[in-house]
Amino acid sequence: MSDDAVSNDGAEPSAHIPEVQPIDAAAPLSEQTHAAEQASIDAAEAELADLEAIEPEQADLESVVAGPAAEEAIEVEEAMHNVQSTVSIPRATTASSEGVFDDVVAEPGSSKPDPIVVAEGIRRQFGGLVAVDVDRLEIQRNAITALIGPNGAGKTTFFNLLTGFDQPNEGSWTFDGTPLLGIAPHKVAQMGMVRTFQLTKALSRMTVIENMRLGANHQKGEKLLQGLLQFPWRKQEDENTIRADELLQRFKLDHVRDEFAGSLSGGQRKLLEMARSLMVEPRMVMLDEPMAGVNPALKQSLLEHIKLLRNEGRTVLFVEHDMDMVMEISDWVVVMAEGRIIAEGPPETLGQNQQVIDAYLGTHQGADLGEEE
């Protein structure tokens, strides 16, 4: 299917990413983005043509699976196609997590060799609705774990709970051995667990570089009295600026350094949010739908950036609806539905998991899907 073409024409699949900038590092930036945009338009057109060809069937499917589930149904379907085709395509990078998951049982709550997050019995109720009810979850250090599930599965709520933005009714969890129950979100971030948001939170009326500088941790100048004087924080500010500029370069945002963040495109804001979160120097990065609203060309570079996070030794947990992305970069996938974790496993195996298919397609799963296959 055309998705394969889209996801693979941006960057050559390779086991290692030696350079910080994976795509055409030599080409001037504007030209490069232009070329990338063009490529994405081409790809999108090709995809459109492809889609039109299978339109009748999909329209059929949509009419059967009414409502928001429809889109996801198609995604799963595409994803399962991918699973079949990935066999022939070399998976890009499992460099640092190769073999780690070999001995891990693919079942909900399975223990990992070296977990950075261990969550136990986390439950969050909104009135009568149990939004999250996770018995046990371990997240492997220095790996990319995907958290997927249909809308309303409780993924974002679970994110909020882990990062302290929301408090559970019961349960406990540790981050690198430290219990996090009742810890304020800013303290969680200072400990090295940094999140991004589903709806990007670029600080619009601040420049890109100011967004970045804000991210740096333990700034002396953030104390009221020291801020008033200049000398206590000047040096630190310069160091932070150097680090910020390096990150901007890596995320190809250096040409918008002094623009207001509000003038960036949706995809650039996602990049900025990710770059900004790295200013905190996190051990674990939690991305809430990093691909939402990002064009295909930029998606490829985002994927590379996420892989790079792991290759730098960080742990990544992300929520995503884009199955291509999940299949391509995750080392381990956790599936949530109705607040519970219903399956865990390497990405390749999930297409065959009956529970996952049920969760995504509900009771409407049936003849149409069978015919497709």
By beta-carbon proximity to other proteins, the closer residue of 288 and 304 is 288
- Nearer Cβ to other proteins (203/308): 203
- The distance of closest approach from Cβ of residue 360 to other proteins in the complex, given in angstroms and rounded to an integer, is 29
Residue 317 structure tokens: 């947990």
Nearest distance from C-beta of residue 278 to other proteins, angstroms = 11
Footprint on residues 239-268 left by other proteins (CB under 8 A) = 260, 262-263
Decide whether 211 or 301 has the Cβ nearer to other proteins.
Answer: 211
Are the C-beta atoms of 361 and 164 separated by less than 8 Å? no
In angstroms, what is the minimal distance from the CB of 187 to other proteins? 8
Q: Rank residues 189 and 336 by Cβ distance to other proteins and give the closer one.
A: 189
Cα 337 to Cα 131: distance, rounded to the nearest angstrom: 10
Question: Least distance (Å) from other proteins to the CB of residue 115?
Answer: 23
Question: How do beta strands 170-175 and 144-148 pair?
Answer: unpaired
Nearer to other proteins, 20 or 197 (CB): 197
369 Cβ neighbours under 8 A, 6+ residues apart: 61, 73, 77, 361
Considering only 189, 208, 253, 306, the residue that binds other proteins (CB under 8 A) is 189
163 or 315: CB nearest other proteins: 163
- Rounded to an integer, what distance in angstroms lies between the CA atom of residue 69 and that of residue 92? 30
Rounded distance between C-alpha atoms, residue 100 and residue 141, angstroms: 10
CB of 190 to other proteins, least distance (A): 4
Q: Which of 20, 101, 23 is nearest to 299 (CA)?
A: 23
Half-sphere exposure of 309 (CA within 13 A, CB side): 31
From 43, 280, 287, 350, residue interacting with other proteins (rule: CB under 8 A): 280
Instruction: Find the binding residues for other proteins in span 138-177 (CB under 8 A).
Output: 163, 165
Q: Among 276, 305, 307, 314, which residue sits at the site for other proteins (rule: CB under 8 A)?
A: 276
Contact predicate 129/179, CB 8 Å? no
Residue located via tokens 């997240």: 139
Window 309-348: contact mask with other proteins (x via CB under 8 A): ----------------------------------------
Q: Which is nearer to other proteins, 273 or 322 (CB)?
A: 273
d(C-alpha 272, C-alpha 219), whole Å:
20
CB 72 within 8 A of CB 364: no
Binding mask 194-223 for other proteins (x = CB under 8 A): xxxx---xxxxxx---x--xxx-x-xxxxx
CB of 236 to other proteins, least distance (A): 8
Q: What are the angstrom distances between the C-alpha of 113 and each of 94, 103, 120, 329, 348?
A: 16, 8, 17, 20, 20
> Residue 363 gets which letter from DSSP?
G
Q: Name the DSSP letter for residue 368.
A: H
In this structure, the strands spanning 115-126 and 129-140 are antiparallel
CA atoms of 216 and 238, how far apart (whole Å): 11
Q: Rule CB under 8 A: choose which of 102, 228, 363, 373 binds other proteins.
A: 228
- 105 scored as a contact of other proteins (CB under 8 A): no
Q: Which residue number, 50 or 259, has a Cβ lying nearer to other proteins?
A: 259
Sort residue 344 into left (φ over 0), alpha (ψ -120 to 50) or beta. beta
Q: Is 292 helix (H, G, I), strand (E, B) or coil?
A: coil
Question: How many chain residues touch other proteins (CB under 8 A)?
Answer: 44
Instruction: Closer to other proteins by CB, 65 or 247: give it.
Output: 247
- Interface positions with other proteins (CB under 8 A): 163, 165, 184-187, 189-190, 194-197, 201-206, 210, 213-215, 217, 219-224, 226-230, 233, 237, 260, 262-263, 273, 276-277, 279-280
